[in-house]
Structure 1
Amino acid sequence: MRTLVLNAGYEPLAVVSFKRALVLVMNDKATIVECVEGDPVWAASGAYDRPAVILLTRYVRVPGARRVPVTRRGVLRRDAHHCGYCGKTATTIDHVMPRSRGGEDSWENLVAACVRCNNAKGDRTPQEMGWELRLVPHAPRGGQWTVRGTERADPRWEPYLALAA
């Protein structure tokens, strides 16, 4: 069971285990906004509901430029596992401008690609191959990308994650 942690301003911060969330609630560092019905947690001081969403009582300052790190999994997720060249199912990533020619490992230079297109393209640019990208690679935006652990979001979190997008 995972719990969404909201900052005092209701922006999503992270996803933690329900045990960690319960400790924050018990220490008066957070309050429960939404809980899981039934199956309470029993403690010496009484029963506690399992928190699904908690709100911190004090505002936590987050550095402004929270850039999403580039990962293979992230590129595939951003492109919905579809090849940027042919549209088939992608299992690899490809540098639009090859690294051997100065291409960087950045969101703007990486696309998801199927093995066939990746091998055929090799060390060339799409223009040299006569290919056109089906999408413009860009850095992902929105709460799902900036809040750690929300990849498999609980449906109860949707209203709170929508605030961050």
Structure 2
Amino acid sequence: MPHALVLNATYEPLGVVPQRRALILVLNQKAVTVEESENVLHSATRAIPAPCVVRLTRYVRVPHRGAVPLTRRALFARDGGRCVYCGAPATSVDHVIPRSRGGQHTWENVVSACRRCNHIKADRHVSELGWRLRKQPRQPTGIVWRIISSGRSDPRWVPYLAAFGGGFDLDYLIENVSA
């Protein structure tokens, strides 16, 4: 089933719910539809366009959230789906400081790489090859990254996510991280 983006009363992204749940929020007047999808949900007496983006009518305080989980999908979104060494389309994950040499599996040490660069680098340091990173890896922050890493996305959500997320490649998100 398709999903809908839930926004706080301040238009801050909160999460993703099934379209059916989003429609229930709207029907119970706990949310208003911001954008509709092409799907139509039917009851015994009516047909209602399914919401794609809903905004809550009352502000919900969001508790502090922990670190964003390190997933392949979120990593490729952070790096724009490109190899951090040469800029070619990325197909694999690489550790800047190899794990065999004490490197950790953390956001600051893991990058997306193309197959060729990953094979050439193997278990060596970037400095040994004379390479340098196109962009220094860092841990993403915010709820937007949780939505991206969930794998549920819709191009219509991008304006709402971009306003609060930052740090990810919008074109990559639109093309590759759709439900």
TM bin, normalised by shorter chain, reads 0.7 to 0.9
Structure 2 residue 15 is the aligned partner of structure 1 residue 14 = yes
The 5 A counterparts of 1:66-85 are 66-85=66-85
Q: Which structure would you say has the larger Rg?
A: 1
Q: 1:89–1:150: structure 2 CA closer, same or farther, 3 Å change rule?
A: closer
2 CA distance for matches of 1:121 and 1:8? 48
Q: What value does the CA root-mean-square deviation take over the aligned residues?
A: 2.7
Tell me the amino acid that sits aligned with residue 13 of structure 1: L
SS at match of 2:163: helix
**Alpha-carbon deviation of 1:11?**
0.9
The 5 A counterparts of 1:1-165 are 1-36=2-37, 40-44=40-44, 46-140=46-140, 144-147=144-147, 152-155=153-156, 157-165=157-165
**Which shows bigger deviation, 115-124 or 141-150?**
141-150
**Alpha-carbon deviation of 1:144?**
4.2
**Alpha-carbon deviation of 1:90?**
2.0
Gaps of 5+ in 1: none
Could you tell me whether the CA contact under 8 Å between 2:16 and 2:152 is conserved in 1? no
1 CA distance for matches of 2:151 and 2:91? 22
**Alpha-carbon deviation of 1:163?**
3.3
Normalising by structure 1, report the TM-score: 0.79
1 CA distance for matches of 2:16 and 2:137? 27
Report the number of matched residues. Answer: 163
Give the % identical residues. 50
Post-superposition CA distance 1:40-60 (Å, at most 9, x none): 544346553422221223333
Gaps of 5+ in 2: 166-179
Post-superposition CA distance 1:30-72 (Å, at most 9, x none): 22233347x7544346553422221223333323245321112
Could you tell me whether the CA contact under 8 Å between 1:144 and 1:150 is conserved in 2? no
Normalising by structure 2, report the TM-score: 0.74
Could you tell me whether the CA contact under 8 Å between 1:15 and 1:150 is conserved in 2? no
